[in-house]
């Protein structure tokens, strides 16, 4: 079979054949000596209301080829945005997909994640390249061998994950949380992490120690301000720090379920989030140095990253659809403003964040504030409050 591109005659024949009853893409591929995947891809890309259009397909192909040869210029406003987004620990895929969610942007503002990676790696040696590579989550990282498994802890009168309602697994209904502890140097310090399965919103909480009472109080404090319909279940592992789960259930009106022993994948959402948190709080550091204000800013940074699982919305944008964020947390909106001028027209791109006013010590009518004042100092960017 040939992998050659289709020409206009091929596309016209495909348009006519595809409208016949009993049409088979595989048989048509054999007829014109093309690979079946070429035909399937062609139909998927260039059908309008499930009807293939030859002229539309040809125009699209020509436009893609023109765009494909465009390089990412390092003196462009797009590159400046990409640099700042990477410094805020957005991945190249998150950047590329987020840009595509804004239809008002012209085509010059679209870029693939592979182009971003290629541009970074093609940079000359220097501080900029070193800085950007250090912000990429999996760049030059090596996996370590797993240590010895922990012994089973003794938890009494528990509900297992197999008793959990089916709606939790489906993620269609909000209010179902996963929780865990992240350990610091020599396991002598800890922080609590919570993530909501539907919106991927995360909450971080300091802990004086990893004792059951401290963990229960931290989780209660983190969740008690939420409406009851947004705190239905909590899934945890078999750690002994959850031995006061019954008190937690009574205080919050929440059902706590436990994973099987040595089965961290059963709360994979939280495990993945812990990996993201390690970008800010790497292994081997004393977590007691991170106060609640710092953890709030880490959580805000994570909650304002676009997610593939949310169709490139951010967890805060998704969560804001569920609760009145301004009433519950006294927040203002923060926008990244990206403008371009094409044929005399001005296009504007907004990336929405939610910021706690009490932390900023601002009034809602504040006009301009650099982002480095509300996020980790290292990850500066030109965001503005509106």
For the chain, the maximum distance between any two Cα atoms, rounded to a whole number of angstroms, is 73
Domain that holds residue 293: 159-303
Domain match, 188 and 281 both: yes
- pLDDT tens digits for 31-77? 998 898 989 989 988 888 888 988 888 888 877 666 555 567 887 88
Q: Where does the pLDDT of residue 126 fall: very low under 50, low under 70, confident under 90, or very high at 90 and above?
A: confident
Domain match, 180 and 277 both: yes
| Strand ranges of the sheet holding 255-258, from the earlier edge strand across to the other edge | 159-160, 255-258, 233-236, 176-183, 190-196, 202-206
Q: For position 89, what pLDDT does the model report?
A: 86
Q: For position 159, what pLDDT does the model report?
A: 92
Q: For position 153, what pLDDT does the model report?
A: 53
- Beta strand pairing call for 190-196 and 202-206: antiparallel
- pLDDT tens digits for 294-339? 898 888 889 888 999 999 988 888 887 775 443 344 443 333 333 3
Q: Where does the pLDDT of residue 138 fall: very low under 50, low under 70, confident under 90, or very high at 90 and above?
A: low
Domain match, 299 and 189 both: yes
Domain match, 197 and 323 both: no
Q: Which among 90, 120, 135 is the end of a domain?
A: 135
Give the long-range contacts of residues 376-382, CB within 8 A, separation 24 or more.
376/280, 376/294, 376/297, 376/298, 376/301, 378/87, 379/87, 379/88, 379/89, 379/301, 380/84, 380/87, 381/84, 381/85, 381/87, 381/88, 381/336, 382/84, 382/336, 382/337
Q: Region 162-184: what's the mean pLDDT?
A: 92
The residues near 69 (Cβ < 8 Å, ≥ 6 apart) are none
The whole-angstrom separation of Cα 290 and Cα 174 is 29
Domain match, 99 and 226 both: no
Cβ(107)–Cβ(64) under 8 Å?
no
Domain match, 220 and 127 both: no
CB atoms within 10 A of CB 15: 19
Q: For position 258, what pLDDT does the model report?
A: 94
The whole-angstrom separation of Cα 223 and Cα 256 is 13
- Residue 3 in domain: no
Cβ(98)–Cβ(306) under 8 Å?
yes
Domain match, 214 and 255 both: yes
- Residue 190 in domain: yes
Both tokens of residue 338?
């990206």
Q: For position 182, what pLDDT does the model report?
A: 94
Q: For position 200, what pLDDT does the model report?
A: 93
Q: Closest Cα partner for 333 from 377, 288, 366, 378?
A: 366
The whole-angstrom separation of Cα 269 and Cα 89 is 19
Q: Is the dihedral of CA 35, 36, 38, 42 positive or negative?
A: positive
pLDDT > 70? residue 346:
no
Which of the pair, 256 or 317, is modelled with greater confidence? 256
Q: For position 377, what pLDDT does the model report?
A: 29
- Lowest-confidence pick of 32-46, 127-141, 178-192: 127-141
Q: Which among 68, 93, 117 is the end of a domain?
A: 68
Cβ(286)–Cβ(184) under 8 Å?
yes
Which of the pair, 365 or 375, is modelled with greater confidence? 375
Q: Region 70-99: what's the mean pLDDT?
A: 85
Q: How high is the mean pLDDT of the chain?
A: 77
Cβ(194)–Cβ(223) under 8 Å?
yes
Percent of the chain residues past pLDDT 70, beyond the cut = 74
Q: Where does the pLDDT of residue 245 fall: very low under 50, low under 70, confident under 90, or very high at 90 and above?
A: very high
Q: For position 201, what pLDDT does the model report?
A: 92
Q: For position 356, what pLDDT does the model report?
A: 45
Q: For position 204, what pLDDT does the model report?
A: 93
pLDDT > 60? residue 141:
no
Q: Which among 270, 303, 336 is the end of a domain?
A: 303
- Residue 142 in domain: no
Q: For position 107, what pLDDT does the model report?
A: 64
Query: How many structural domains is the chain composed of?
Result: 4
Q: Region 354-361: what's the mean pLDDT?
A: 42
Which of the pair, 191 or 321, is modelled with greater confidence? 191
């Amino acid at each position: 079979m040939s992998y050659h591109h289709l020409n206009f005659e091929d596309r016209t024949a495909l348009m006519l054949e595809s409208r016949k009853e009993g049409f088979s893409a595989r048989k048509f591929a054999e007829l014109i000596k093309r690979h079946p995947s070429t035909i399937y891809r062609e139909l998927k890309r260039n059908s309008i209301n499930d009807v293939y259009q030859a002229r539309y397909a040809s125009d699209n192909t020509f436009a893609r080829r023109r765009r494909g040869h465009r390089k990412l210029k390092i003196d462009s406003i797009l590159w400046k945005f990409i640099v700042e987004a990477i410094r805020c620990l957005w991945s190249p895929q998150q950047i590329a997909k987020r840009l595509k969610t804004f239809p008002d942007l012209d085509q010059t503002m679209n870029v693939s994640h592979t182009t971003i990676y290629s541009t970074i790696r093609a940079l000359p040696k220097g501080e900029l390249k070193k800085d950007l590579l250090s912000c990429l989550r999996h760049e030059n990282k090596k996996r370590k061998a797993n240590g010895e498994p922990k012994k089973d802890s003794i938890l009494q009168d528990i509900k297992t994950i197999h008793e959990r309602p089916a709606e939790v697994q489906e993620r269609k209904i909000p209010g179902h949380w996963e929780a865990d502890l992240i350990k610091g140097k020599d396991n002598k310090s800890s922080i609590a992490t919570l993530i909501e399965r539907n919106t991927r919103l995360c909450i971080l909480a300091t802990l004086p120690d990893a004792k059951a009472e401290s963990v229960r109080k931290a989780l209660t404090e983190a969740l008690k301000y939420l409406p009851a319909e947004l705190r239905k279940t909590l899934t945890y592992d078999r750690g002994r720090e959850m031995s006061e789960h019954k008190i937690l259930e009574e205080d919050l009106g929440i059902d706590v379920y436990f994973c099987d022993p040595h089965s961290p994948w059963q709360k994979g959402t939280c495990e993945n989030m812990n990996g993201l948190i390690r970008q800010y709080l790497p292994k081997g550091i004393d977590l007691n140095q991170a106060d609640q204000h710092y953890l709030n800013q880490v959580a805000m940074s994570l909650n304002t990253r676009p997610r593939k699982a949310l169709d490139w919305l951010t967890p805060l944008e998704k969560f804001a659809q569920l609760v009145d964020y301004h009433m519950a947390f006294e927040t203002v909106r923060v926008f990244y403003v990206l403008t371009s001028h094409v044929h005399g027209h001005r296009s504007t791109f907004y990336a929405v964040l939610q910021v706690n006013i009490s932390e900023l010590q601002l009034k809602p009518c504040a006009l301009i504030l650099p982002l480095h004042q509300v996020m980790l100092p290292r990850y500066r960017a030109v965001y503005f409050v509106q």
